[in-house]
């Protein structure tokens, strides 16, 4: 059954990284990533306030496997801010891969938050860089706007959606993730671990909205 909530003025929809490189044919494609686009558009139509995030890496970003001699994508390395999964080059600033999916309705977005633009550190969360200390400024924006409840959709469930939802709770916001409007990478059981972590943090999981 659909979630029986009518979003109000203190609710915002946060659409995470629905970009070409995370969709089929992209550099870091999430299986069926493009299938969520019409679902996200439908859900967005129910919200007065919509925020988009956009991965926005400079060339040679430190999280790219190509920046580490002899390393391959999806290996893990220890960096000064902790363990880092190495990724294929993706969402490079100004490229078609970094652009939003052509079917995504972005016209009503009140904020587009770019993340991952610091060359030396990755950023999964919409709230913090991966050092878990450097803020993006989103929490302050949301508080100044008076938002209290955030609903998350997008890519990928077990990485940027999860980290964003967990940090929303950490920042004091109510958080919901709509499962049908997300897709996962699921590396080594990461999807199940993500749902477990989100549930433990008080993130509400709904199947549809």
Q: Residue 63: what are its φ and ψ, rounded to 5°?
A: -85, -5
Measure the CA–CA gap between 35 and 3, rounded to whole angstroms: 20
Alpha carbons 163 and 152: distance in angstroms, whole number: 11
- Residue of 17, 34, 158, 167 with catalytic role: 17
Catalytic residue among 115, 122, 158, 182: 115
Residue in 150, 149, 93 with CA at minimum distance from that of residue 116:
93
> Catalytic one among 122, 160, 167, 182?
160
63 by Cβ neighbours in 10 Å (0-12 / 13-18 / 19+) ranks as buried
Reply yes or no on whether 23 is catalytic: no
Whether 115 is catalytic: yes
Answer yes or no: 17 catalytic.
Answer: yes
Rounded CA-CA distance 83/98 in Å is 24
Residues annotated as part of the active site: 17, 115, 160
């Amino acid at each position: 059954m659909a979630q029986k909530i009518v979003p109000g003025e203190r609710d915002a929809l946060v659409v995470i990284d629905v970009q070409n490189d995370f969709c089929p044919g992209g550099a870091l494609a999430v299986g069926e990533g493009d299938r969520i686009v019409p679902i996200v558009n439908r859900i967005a139509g129910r919200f007065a306030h919509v925020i988009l995030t956009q991965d926005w890496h400079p060339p040679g970003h430190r999280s790219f496997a190509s920046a580490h001699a002899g390393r391959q994508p999806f290996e893990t390395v220890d960096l000064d801010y902790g363990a880092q999964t190495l990724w294929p080059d993706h969402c490079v600033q100004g490229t078609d891969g970094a652009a939003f999916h052509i079917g995504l309705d972005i016209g009503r977005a009140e904020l587009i938050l770019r993340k991952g633009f610091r060359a030396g550190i990755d950023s999964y969360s919409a709230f913090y860089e991966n050092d878990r200390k450097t803020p993006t400024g989103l929490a302050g924006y949301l508080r100044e706007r008076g938002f209290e409840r955030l609903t998350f959709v997008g890519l990928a469930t077990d990485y940027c959606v999860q980290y964003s939802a967990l940090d929303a709770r950490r920042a004091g916001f109510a958080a919901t993730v709509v499962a049908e409007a997300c897709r996962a990478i699921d590396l080594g059981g990461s999807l199940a671990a993500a749902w477990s972590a989100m549930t433990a943090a008080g993130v509400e999981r709904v199947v549809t909205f």
